Structure 1
Amino acid sequence: MSATVDASRVGSVFTGTPPFEVTRRDVVAFADAVGASSPVHRDIAEARAAGFADLVAPVTFAVVIAQEAEAEYIADPASGVDFSRVVHADETFTHCRPLVAGESVTTAVHVDSITSRGGLTLVTTRTEITDASGDAVASVVSTLAVRGADA
Protein backbone atom coordinates (compact mmCIF):
# COMPACT_ATOMS: atom_id res chain seq x y z
CA MET A 1 0.00 0.00 0.00
CA SER A 2 1.19 3.50 -0.73
CA ALA A 3 2.93 5.51 1.97
CA THR A 4 1.13 8.62 0.72
CA VAL A 5 -2.28 9.30 2.19
CA ASP A 6 -4.69 10.62 -0.43
CA ALA A 7 -5.78 14.08 0.79
CA SER A 8 -8.50 14.22 -1.87
CA ARG A 9 -10.51 11.82 0.32
CA VAL A 10 -11.40 14.71 2.69
CA GLY A 11 -15.18 14.99 2.62
CA SER A 12 -15.68 11.30 1.82
CA VAL A 13 -18.28 9.41 3.83
CA PHE A 14 -18.21 5.64 4.39
CA THR A 15 -21.44 3.85 5.30
CA GLY A 16 -20.79 0.27 4.19
CA THR A 17 -20.10 -1.25 7.60
CA PRO A 18 -22.91 -3.60 8.68
CA PRO A 19 -24.94 -2.63 11.76
CA PHE A 20 -23.16 -3.21 15.06
CA GLU A 21 -25.06 -5.35 17.56
CA VAL A 22 -24.30 -4.23 21.13
CA THR A 23 -24.28 -7.43 23.21
CA ARG A 24 -24.26 -8.00 26.95
CA ARG A 25 -21.09 -10.02 26.57
CA ASP A 26 -19.35 -7.14 24.76
CA VAL A 27 -20.47 -4.62 27.38
CA VAL A 28 -19.23 -6.75 30.29
CA ALA A 29 -15.94 -7.61 28.57
CA PHE A 30 -15.27 -3.96 27.74
CA ALA A 31 -16.18 -2.84 31.28
CA ASP A 32 -13.74 -5.43 32.62
CA ALA A 33 -11.01 -4.33 30.20
CA VAL A 34 -11.24 -0.65 31.13
CA GLY A 35 -11.93 -1.15 34.83
CA ALA A 36 -15.42 0.38 34.72
CA SER A 37 -16.90 -0.62 38.06
CA SER A 38 -20.49 0.63 37.88
CA PRO A 39 -23.01 -2.18 38.38
CA VAL A 40 -25.05 -0.90 35.39
CA HIS A 41 -22.35 -2.44 33.16
CA ARG A 42 -22.78 -5.95 34.63
CA ASP A 43 -26.09 -6.30 36.48
CA ILE A 44 -29.31 -6.09 34.45
CA ALA A 45 -31.42 -5.41 37.56
CA GLU A 46 -29.15 -2.46 38.46
CA ALA A 47 -29.29 -1.12 34.90
CA ARG A 48 -33.09 -1.37 34.83
CA ALA A 49 -33.35 0.24 38.27
CA ALA A 50 -31.34 3.13 36.82
CA GLY A 51 -33.89 3.47 34.00
CA PHE A 52 -32.18 1.53 31.20
CA ALA A 53 -33.60 -1.35 29.16
CA ASP A 54 -30.43 -3.45 29.56
CA LEU A 55 -26.74 -3.24 30.47
CA VAL A 56 -25.16 0.14 29.78
CA ALA A 57 -21.88 0.28 27.89
CA PRO A 58 -19.06 2.38 29.38
CA VAL A 59 -18.77 5.72 27.54
CA THR A 60 -15.57 4.73 25.76
CA PHE A 61 -17.23 1.60 24.31
CA ALA A 62 -18.14 3.74 21.31
CA VAL A 63 -14.51 3.39 20.18
CA VAL A 64 -15.11 -0.31 19.44
CA ILE A 65 -17.89 0.62 17.05
CA ALA A 66 -15.95 3.52 15.52
CA GLN A 67 -12.80 1.50 14.88
CA GLU A 68 -14.76 -1.26 13.18
CA ALA A 69 -16.41 1.34 10.94
CA GLU A 70 -13.14 3.25 10.26
CA ALA A 71 -11.67 0.02 8.89
CA GLU A 72 -13.79 0.50 5.76
CA TYR A 73 -11.91 3.73 4.97
CA ILE A 74 -8.48 2.53 6.10
CA ALA A 75 -8.72 -0.75 4.15
CA ASP A 76 -9.71 1.07 0.97
CA PRO A 77 -6.55 1.05 -1.19
CA ALA A 78 -7.53 4.49 -2.53
CA SER A 79 -7.10 5.96 0.97
CA GLY A 80 -3.34 5.45 0.83
CA VAL A 81 -3.28 4.61 4.55
CA ASP A 82 -0.72 1.93 5.38
CA PHE A 83 -2.05 0.72 8.74
CA SER A 84 1.35 -0.73 9.67
CA ARG A 85 2.56 2.90 9.82
CA VAL A 86 -0.33 4.22 11.94
CA VAL A 87 -0.03 5.56 15.48
CA HIS A 88 -3.18 6.57 17.32
CA ALA A 89 -2.97 10.29 18.13
CA ASP A 90 -6.29 11.40 19.64
CA GLU A 91 -9.89 10.38 20.31
CA THR A 92 -12.87 12.35 21.58
CA PHE A 93 -16.43 11.28 22.32
CA THR A 94 -19.69 13.18 22.23
CA HIS A 95 -22.67 11.23 23.52
CA CYS A 96 -26.34 11.98 22.96
CA ARG A 97 -27.31 9.02 25.12
CA PRO A 98 -25.74 5.81 26.47
CA LEU A 99 -25.26 2.71 24.36
CA VAL A 100 -27.29 -0.18 25.74
CA ALA A 101 -26.98 -3.93 25.22
CA GLY A 102 -29.53 -5.35 22.82
CA GLU A 103 -29.54 -2.48 20.37
CA SER A 104 -28.28 -2.34 16.82
CA VAL A 105 -26.48 0.80 15.67
CA THR A 106 -25.21 2.01 12.31
CA THR A 107 -22.29 4.23 11.42
CA ALA A 108 -21.18 6.87 8.97
CA VAL A 109 -17.45 7.61 8.88
CA HIS A 110 -16.59 11.10 7.66
CA VAL A 111 -13.03 11.93 6.58
CA ASP A 112 -12.85 15.42 8.09
CA SER A 113 -9.22 16.40 7.53
CA ILE A 114 -5.87 15.19 6.27
CA THR A 115 -2.80 17.30 7.00
CA SER A 116 0.90 16.55 6.67
CA ARG A 117 3.70 17.87 8.84
CA GLY A 118 7.10 16.71 9.97
CA GLY A 119 7.02 13.32 8.27
CA LEU A 120 3.52 12.53 9.56
CA THR A 121 0.13 12.71 7.95
CA LEU A 122 -2.67 13.36 10.42
CA VAL A 123 -5.98 11.83 9.38
CA THR A 124 -9.06 12.91 11.33
CA THR A 125 -12.26 10.94 10.99
CA ARG A 126 -15.63 11.45 12.63
CA THR A 127 -17.84 8.42 13.15
CA GLU A 128 -21.50 9.22 13.66
CA ILE A 129 -23.32 6.40 15.45
CA THR A 130 -27.11 6.22 15.10
CA ASP A 131 -29.76 3.87 16.44
CA ALA A 132 -32.36 1.86 14.51
CA SER A 133 -34.66 4.92 14.43
CA GLY A 134 -31.90 7.04 12.90
CA ASP A 135 -31.45 9.06 16.08
CA ALA A 136 -27.95 10.15 17.07
CA VAL A 137 -26.29 8.09 19.80
CA ALA A 138 -22.66 9.25 19.75
CA SER A 139 -19.94 10.84 17.69
CA VAL A 140 -16.34 9.67 17.84
CA VAL A 141 -13.59 11.89 16.43
CA SER A 142 -10.34 10.04 15.88
CA THR A 143 -6.98 11.32 14.69
CA LEU A 144 -4.45 8.87 13.32
CA ALA A 145 -0.83 9.76 12.68
CA VAL A 146 0.48 7.96 9.61
CA ARG A 147 4.29 7.84 9.54
CA GLY A 148 5.85 8.60 6.18
CA ALA A 149 8.28 6.23 4.50
CA ASP A 150 11.24 8.01 6.11
CA ALA A 151 9.75 8.26 9.62
Structure 2
Amino acid sequence: MAVNPDLVGRAFPPTPPYLVGREKVREFARAVFADAPQHTDVEAARALGYADVVAPPTFAIVIQELTLKQLMSTSDSGIALERTVHGEQRFRWSRPIVAGDELTAQLAVTQIRALGANAMVTSETEITDASGAHVVTATSVLVIGGDE
Protein backbone atom coordinates (compact mmCIF):
# COMPACT_ATOMS: atom_id res chain seq x y z
CA MET A 1 0.00 0.00 0.00
CA ALA A 2 1.33 3.45 -0.90
CA VAL A 3 1.42 6.26 1.64
CA ASN A 4 -2.08 7.70 1.96
CA PRO A 5 -2.07 11.26 0.50
CA ASP A 6 -5.11 12.08 2.66
CA LEU A 7 -2.76 12.21 5.66
CA VAL A 8 -1.76 15.75 4.67
CA GLY A 9 -3.53 18.14 7.01
CA ARG A 10 -4.47 15.41 9.47
CA ALA A 11 -3.93 16.36 13.10
CA PHE A 12 -3.67 13.66 15.72
CA PRO A 13 -5.00 13.89 19.29
CA PRO A 14 -2.68 15.44 21.89
CA THR A 15 -0.56 12.97 23.83
CA PRO A 16 -1.05 12.44 27.54
CA PRO A 17 1.20 14.78 29.56
CA TYR A 18 4.84 13.66 29.83
CA LEU A 19 6.55 14.62 33.07
CA VAL A 20 10.22 15.34 32.35
CA GLY A 21 12.29 13.61 35.01
CA ARG A 22 15.67 14.77 36.24
CA GLU A 23 17.22 11.33 35.80
CA LYS A 24 15.79 11.00 32.27
CA VAL A 25 17.47 14.30 31.37
CA ARG A 26 20.76 13.10 32.86
CA GLU A 27 20.54 9.74 31.07
CA PHE A 28 19.78 11.42 27.75
CA ALA A 29 22.64 13.89 28.23
CA ARG A 30 25.06 11.01 28.82
CA ALA A 31 23.73 9.12 25.79
CA VAL A 32 24.29 12.07 23.44
CA PHE A 33 27.55 13.19 25.08
CA ALA A 34 26.08 16.53 26.20
CA ASP A 35 28.58 17.26 28.95
CA ALA A 36 27.67 20.85 29.86
CA PRO A 37 27.04 20.93 33.62
CA GLN A 38 23.49 22.33 33.35
CA HIS A 39 22.39 18.98 31.90
CA THR A 40 23.37 16.99 34.99
CA ASP A 41 23.96 19.37 37.90
CA VAL A 42 20.96 21.12 39.47
CA GLU A 43 23.08 23.89 41.00
CA ALA A 44 24.78 24.61 37.67
CA ALA A 45 21.35 24.85 36.02
CA ARG A 46 20.04 27.12 38.78
CA ALA A 47 23.09 29.36 38.42
CA LEU A 48 21.94 29.88 34.81
CA GLY A 49 18.42 30.77 35.95
CA TYR A 50 16.66 27.42 35.46
CA ALA A 51 14.58 25.62 38.08
CA ASP A 52 16.26 22.26 37.44
CA VAL A 53 18.55 20.45 35.00
CA VAL A 54 18.16 21.52 31.37
CA ALA A 55 17.57 18.88 28.71
CA PRO A 56 19.89 18.82 25.69
CA PRO A 57 18.09 20.30 22.67
CA THR A 58 17.45 16.95 21.01
CA PHE A 59 15.61 15.63 24.09
CA ALA A 60 12.43 16.89 22.40
CA ILE A 61 12.54 13.76 20.22
CA VAL A 62 11.59 11.75 23.33
CA ILE A 63 8.25 13.57 23.45
CA GLN A 64 7.87 13.73 19.67
CA GLU A 65 8.30 9.96 19.46
CA LEU A 66 4.95 9.58 21.24
CA THR A 67 3.27 11.38 18.35
CA LEU A 68 5.18 9.51 15.68
CA LYS A 69 3.84 6.28 17.22
CA GLN A 70 0.34 7.60 16.57
CA LEU A 71 1.18 8.25 12.93
CA MET A 72 2.88 4.89 12.44
CA SER A 73 0.00 2.96 13.99
CA THR A 74 -2.71 4.60 11.88
CA SER A 75 -4.25 1.74 9.92
CA ASP A 76 -4.87 3.74 6.73
CA SER A 77 -1.49 5.51 6.61
CA GLY A 78 0.28 3.17 4.22
CA ILE A 79 3.39 3.60 6.37
CA ALA A 80 5.20 0.38 7.25
CA LEU A 81 7.89 0.59 9.93
CA GLU A 82 10.09 -1.94 8.16
CA ARG A 83 10.23 0.40 5.11
CA THR A 84 10.76 3.62 7.09
CA VAL A 85 13.91 5.59 7.79
CA HIS A 86 14.24 8.93 9.56
CA GLY A 87 15.38 11.35 6.89
CA GLU A 88 15.53 14.73 8.62
CA GLN A 89 14.89 16.42 11.97
CA ARG A 90 14.54 20.11 12.88
CA PHE A 91 13.54 22.00 16.03
CA ARG A 92 12.16 25.51 16.56
CA TRP A 93 12.43 26.52 20.21
CA SER A 94 10.60 28.99 22.45
CA ARG A 95 12.53 27.81 25.51
CA PRO A 96 14.58 24.85 26.73
CA ILE A 97 13.00 21.77 28.29
CA VAL A 98 13.71 21.57 32.02
CA ALA A 99 13.23 18.70 34.47
CA GLY A 100 9.81 19.11 36.07
CA ASP A 101 8.13 20.26 32.85
CA GLU A 102 4.86 18.53 32.02
CA LEU A 103 4.72 18.45 28.24
CA THR A 104 1.96 17.58 25.78
CA ALA A 105 2.52 17.04 22.07
CA GLN A 106 0.31 17.12 19.00
CA LEU A 107 1.35 15.99 15.53
CA ALA A 108 0.06 17.17 12.17
CA VAL A 109 1.15 15.83 8.79
CA THR A 110 2.17 18.83 6.69
CA GLN A 111 3.48 17.35 3.44
CA ILE A 112 3.89 14.15 1.45
CA ARG A 113 6.24 14.15 -1.53
CA ALA A 114 6.82 11.35 -3.99
CA LEU A 115 10.44 10.39 -4.49
CA GLY A 116 10.43 7.72 -7.19
CA ALA A 117 8.65 4.71 -5.67
CA ASN A 118 9.24 6.19 -2.21
CA ALA A 119 7.47 8.88 -0.22
CA MET A 120 8.73 11.59 2.11
CA VAL A 121 6.28 12.33 4.92
CA THR A 122 6.82 15.61 6.77
CA SER A 123 5.15 16.15 10.13
CA GLU A 124 5.26 18.87 12.75
CA THR A 125 4.84 18.18 16.44
CA GLU A 126 3.89 21.12 18.62
CA ILE A 127 5.10 20.57 22.19
CA THR A 128 3.54 22.73 24.90
CA ASP A 129 3.89 22.95 28.68
CA ALA A 130 1.20 22.54 31.33
CA SER A 131 0.09 26.16 30.89
CA GLY A 132 -0.34 25.62 27.14
CA ALA A 133 2.70 27.74 26.24
CA HIS A 134 4.77 26.68 23.22
CA VAL A 135 8.08 25.01 24.09
CA VAL A 136 9.29 23.55 20.80
CA THR A 137 8.10 22.53 17.37
CA ALA A 138 9.77 19.33 16.17
CA THR A 139 9.69 18.71 12.42
CA SER A 140 10.45 15.24 11.10
CA VAL A 141 10.77 13.86 7.61
CA LEU A 142 10.23 10.11 7.30
CA VAL A 143 11.29 8.38 4.10
CA ILE A 144 8.97 5.49 3.32
CA GLY A 145 10.20 2.86 0.88
CA GLY A 146 7.88 1.77 -1.90
CA ASP A 147 6.30 -1.67 -1.99
CA GLU A 148 8.63 -4.45 -3.01
Shared fold (TM-score greater than 0.5)? yes
Match of 2:42 in 1: 44
Match of 2:121 in 1: 123
Match of 1:89 in 2: 87
Q: Secondary structure at the match of 1:79?
A: coil
- List structure 1 segments (4+ residues) > 4 angstroms apart after TM superposition: none
TM-fit CA distance, 1:41: 0.5
Match of 2:15 in 1: 17
Q: Output aligned runs, 1:2-151, within 5 Å.
A: 3-150=1-148
| Runs (5+) with no aligned partner, structure 2 | none
| Runs (5+) with no aligned partner, structure 1 | none
Q: Cα deviations across residues 49-103 of structure 1 (Å, max 9, x unaligned)?
A: 1100011000011111111221111111121211111011000011100000011
Do 2:18 and 2:102's aligned partners in 1 also have CA atoms closer than 8 Å? yes
TM-fit CA distance, 1:47: 0.6
TM-score, reference length from structure 2 = 0.96
1:21 alignment partner AA: L
Q: Cα deviations across residues 28-50 of structure 1 (Å, max 9, x unaligned)?
A: 11100110011001000111111
Identity %: 41
Aligned residue pairs: how many?
A: 148
Structure 1 Cα separation of the partners of residues 14 and 103 of structure 2:
13
TM-fit CA distance, 1:17: 2.0
Do 1:16 and 1:72's aligned partners in 2 also have CA atoms closer than 8 Å? no
Structure 1 Cα separation of the partners of residues 7 and 54 of structure 2:
35
Root-mean-square deviation (Å): 0.9
